[in-house]
Structure 1
Amino acid sequence: MPELPEVEVVRRGLEPFMARRVIERVEVFEARSLKRHADGVEGFVRALEGREIREVARRGKFLWAPLSDARRATSSSPSLGEALVMHLGMSGQLRVRDAEVRGAYQASEPHLSEGPASDPEKHLRIRLHMAGGSRIDFLDQRIFGGMHVSPLVNTPDGLAAGTGTNLPLLPESAAHIARDLLDPFLDEESLVRQIRTRRAPIKSVILDQGTVSGVGNIYADEALWEAKLHFARSANGISSRKIRELLVACRGVMQRALEVGGTSFDALYVNVDGRRGYFARSLSAYGKHGMPCPRCGRALVRVQFQNRSSHLCPYCQRRR
């Protein structure tokens, strides 16, 4: 599943083609991709056509685009407005086709990624036709992701909701999602205290999107390896200093991944131009079982943890 770096790469790729542009026409090819939209296909189309996207924002793994009220009767609209929410799920992709390049997928930042991946038109689920001729295609092989329109609500702290927006508004459907480690308004000391109240394994805690968002299995394993922490240690038994060290490691690994387009192991995650990220080349622990630990030289291992794999060095990350 795409994690914070991959979703931020997608957000940056979408922004030039969506922000301050009107959605002229909407095509829905798979109703299951609208499972979170209460009004069905016709309601989804009616809610979007003729409206302008103000900006493209992100919190953790969630993308949303606040909508203007242009060409829309506002009598029944929520007082704070609405947003188009885009969630990639396990295999969702958002691709841009720009009219100026004869319908090919448009490379917004080609130096960030390698590829391109194949163009899986058979997995096309939703298409947005934007003013100016560009098209936004939502592709999803497994149909775990999707789009929906959600009312906007105030952020509890009154601060900007996430990356790419100055508005203190976020979609109601994502209101339970915590701030992420790249959010300048994250209260890190409060987060450290919150983590230390939990009895759950530390990996479970940092994967909990209601505690800190955007972290998935890949970057959790990498950060735990960097901080020399065993994934199963109880969070409340780890010192504040060590928790801060873990958060610094997690932020650092995600920033490094973002610089090179994220992590791709297959064609399920690609940028808006169909290109893959190549942070997989820089991973130290995730997927490296059987290979020598870059720190101590002993063999890395893979073990099962809560229906997923965890990768670690049994020497550097001993469970105390």
Structure 2
Amino acid sequence: MPELPEVEVVRRGLDQWVAGRTIASAEVLHPRAVRRNVGDLPDQLKGRTVLSAERRGKYLWLPLYEGPAGHVDPVTGEPVVAADALLAHLGMSGQLLMVDPSTPAEKHLRVRVAFTDGGPDMRFVDQRTFGHLLVAPMARLRRPVPEPITHIAADPLEEAFDDAAFATRLRLRRTGIKRALLDQSLISGVGNIYADEALWRARLHWARPTENLTRPVIATLLSGVREVMTEALGQGGTSFDSLYVNVNGESGYFDRSLAVYGRRDEPCPRCGTPVIREAFMNRSSYSCPKCQPRPRNARP
């Protein structure tokens, strides 16, 4: 599943292509892609202007404005505030692509959005159809987000992320550190890949109990999370197959820089000890047994 860096790469690409453009029409080619939407998606989108592309954690949204392009209300002169947005979750294999309108439909095309300027369409392609699109009202918070994702915590690259509050809540979790990192109500955007990579950088085993972590150790962990995500962003994210691509259909190449994830029996880049794989929540955890020794009081 795409994690924060992959979704942010897509967001940046979308923002360049759709901000300020007005939607001419939308076509739903597979009902499962809009299964959570209330109402008729094409009717909800027609004539709306996209203000920008935004993200929190693994969610993307396009704030929608009624009327022509412009970020300032023509009557009041105040900045436009979107009442609702097109919210997207890519699921396991979702892709948001910007494609010339004359290009034939992709094999797993689910939703197509055309714009009044005749420029590139936005197409939602999803082989496994676990992702979805929906129009949702915006919640009036300090940083407005669509109402369906108000329970999602700020991600570590947001200005709204509070390191001290995260440390306090983390120590109250009484669970294993990796399980906590994957809890999107505590910290969003971190998935299996970047959790393993951040824990390796912080020299922490994934089963280390959260209640025993000191604030300096948590600070080191957050630094590792931010470092690995920032580096992944610079390389276009991590692509293990053709299912994750950016809006131009290009793959990321951060997988070449991974230290432990998916590298069982390969030497640790830091000490040379073979990387091990352990079962974790019906998935896998990769770590260096020397740099990240398993604690005696490990939590699942």
When normalised by structure 1's length, the TM-score is 0.85
1:161-240 matches, within 5 Å, as 161=143, 169-240=144-215
For 2:26, the equivalent position in structure 1 comes to 26
Structure 2 alignment gaps of length 5 or more: 69-80, 296-300
Structure 1 alignment gaps of length 5 or more: 72-78, 105-119, 162-168
What is the alpha-carbon distance in structure 2 between the residues aligned to residue 91 and residue 80 of structure 1?
Answer: 28
Asked whether the equivalents of residues 24 and 129 of structure 1 are also in contact (C-alpha less than 8 Å), the reply is yes
- 1:294 CA drift (Å): 0.9
Task: Give 1:281's match in structure 2, choosing from 251, 256, 269.
Answer: 256
- 1:80 CA drift (Å): 6.6
SS in 1 for 2:111: strand
Find runs of 4+ consecutive structure 1 residues off by over 2 angstroms.
none
Task: Give 1:44's match in structure 2, choosing from 41, 45, 52.
Answer: 41
What is the alpha-carbon distance in structure 2 between the residues aligned to residue 132 and residue 290 of structure 1?
Answer: 53
What is the alpha-carbon distance in structure 2 between the residues aligned to residue 90 and residue 103 of structure 1?
Answer: 24
- 1:81 CA drift (Å): 1.1
Asked whether the equivalents of residues 33 and 147 of structure 1 are also in contact (C-alpha less than 8 Å), the reply is yes
Asked whether the equivalents of residues 80 and 153 of structure 1 are also in contact (C-alpha less than 8 Å), the reply is no
For 1:165, the equivalent position in structure 2 comes to none
Partner deviation per Cα, 1:140-174 (whole Å, 9 max, x = no partner): 0111101000011122xx2xx3xxxxxxx110011
For 2:86, the equivalent position in structure 1 comes to 84
What is the alpha-carbon distance in structure 1 between the residues aligned to residue 106 and residue 42 of structure 2?
Answer: 21
SS in 2 for 1:5: helix
Asked whether the equivalents of residues 67 and 81 of structure 1 are also in contact (C-alpha less than 8 Å), the reply is yes
The one-letter amino acid paired with 1:311 is Y
The one-letter amino acid paired with 2:240 is F
1:62-81 matches, within 5 Å, as 62-70=59-67, 81=83
- 1:185 CA drift (Å): 2.0
Asked whether the equivalents of residues 65 and 82 of structure 2 are also in contact (C-alpha less than 8 Å), the reply is no
- 1:290 CA drift (Å): 0.6
When normalised by structure 2's length, the TM-score is 0.91
- 1:131 CA drift (Å): 2.5
1:219-298 matches, within 5 Å, as 219-298=194-273
- 1:38 CA drift (Å): 1.9
* Larger RCO: 1 or 2 (CA < 8 Å, sep 6+): 1
1:1-20 matches, within 5 Å, as 1-20=1-20
For 1:131, the equivalent position in structure 2 comes to 116
- 1:98 CA drift (Å): 3.7
Partner deviation per Cα, 1:23-54 (whole Å, 9 max, x = no partner): 10101100000111022xxx111110111111
Asked whether the equivalents of residues 265 and 275 of structure 2 are also in contact (C-alpha less than 8 Å), the reply is yes
Do residues 146 (structure 1) and 132 (structure 2) align?
yes
Asked whether the equivalents of residues 154 and 170 of structure 1 are also in contact (C-alpha less than 8 Å), the reply is yes
